[in-house]
């Protein structure tokens, strides 16, 4: 979450005995524990934030035009905002795969700012973030990951990201994206592939630095009649 004033207590109660629903893709399992989930923002976040997430490595918040990663140190909360440049204004942000758990938020002593029984989900999807391109966030073994799903014939070069206010953003020689410093230094390592009749086919690709501090992708050849998945994993490099 973005930094907030006052005391924030969070509880997650699993009220049903049924296990979490399984993601149709076995590579992206449903969360394995109660800390990996997405929940609708309910007045305890910054303006414009629609959804938020909690996991072992990060906390995150999601608006239509950006997502924000946060990590807590002993003395402060560090945040990092990643914007979607030139995204489709008609994009829809929706939660998928409900979980049996409910989240409760209590801020300070004012009951009007408390929220109880909020539904939790295992995935969050930006539908049509760019024409023909969806973006899906999910948790995998405590790690936040995100997939750009590029429809057949859609142009992945539309994807432009910007790390707001971060002068330490850099694309490494191997094509990984490193952002932030200290407790919130994050490595984004992409895996690109297509699903075929013979299984998953890996596609060569990496992050690329673009003009005006934008970040995109440099892709090798792939079958443009099939969906392309761009799947970066977010790894928190240092935590204090």
**Residue-level pLDDT at 238:** 52
Whether residue 57 contacts residue 48, with contact meaning beta carbons closer than 8 Å, is answered with no
- Give the mean pLDDT per block of 10 residues along the chain (240 residues): 35 35 34 66 72 76 91 73 93 92 72 74 95 93 87 96 81 89 80 95 95 92 97 67
pTM of the model: 0.79
Whether residue 25 contacts residue 17, with contact meaning beta carbons closer than 8 Å, is answered with no
> What is the rounded distance in angstroms from the CA atom of residue 137 to the CA atom of residue 140?
10
Whether residue 102 contacts residue 111, with contact meaning beta carbons closer than 8 Å, is answered with no
For the CA atoms of 73, 74, 75, 80, the dihedral, rounded to the nearest 10 degrees, stands at: 10
**Residue-level pLDDT at 26:** 29
φ/ψ of 182, rounded to 5, equals 60, -130
> What is the rounded distance in angstroms from the CA atom of residue 56 to the CA atom of residue 70?
12
Q: How many CA atoms lie within 13 A of 179 on its CB side?
A: 25
**Residue-level pLDDT at 45:** 58
């Amino acid at each position: 979450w973005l930094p907030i004033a006052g005391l924030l207590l969070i509880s997650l109660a699993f009220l049903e005995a049924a296990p979490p629903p399984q993601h149709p893709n076995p590579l992206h399992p449903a969360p394995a524990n109660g800390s990996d989930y997405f929940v609708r923002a309910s007045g305890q976040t910054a303006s414009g934030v629609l959804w938020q997430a909690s996991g072992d490595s990060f906390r995150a918040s999601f608006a239509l035009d950006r997502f924000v990663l946060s990590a807590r140190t002993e003395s402060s909360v560090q945040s990092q905002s990643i914007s979607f440049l030139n995204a489709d204004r008609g994009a829809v942000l929706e939660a998928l795969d409900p979980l049996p758990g409910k989240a409760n938020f209590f801020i300070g002593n004012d009951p009007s700012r408390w929220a109880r029984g909020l539904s939790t989900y295992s995935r969050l999807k930006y539908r049509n973030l760019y024409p023909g391109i969806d973006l899906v966030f999910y948790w995998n073994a405590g790690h936040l990951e995100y997939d750009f799903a590029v429809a057949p014939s859609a142009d992945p070069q539309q994807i432009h990201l910007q790390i707001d206010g971060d002068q330490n953003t850099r694309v490494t020689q191997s094509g990984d994206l490193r952002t932030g410093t200290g407790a919130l230094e994050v490595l984004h390592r992409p895996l690109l592939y297509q699903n075929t009749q013979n299984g998953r086919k890996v596609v060569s690709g990496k992050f690329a630095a673009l003009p005006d501090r934008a970040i995109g992708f440099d892709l090798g050849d792939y079958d443009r009649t099939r969906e392309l998945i761009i799947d970066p994993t977010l790894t928190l490099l240092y935590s204090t």
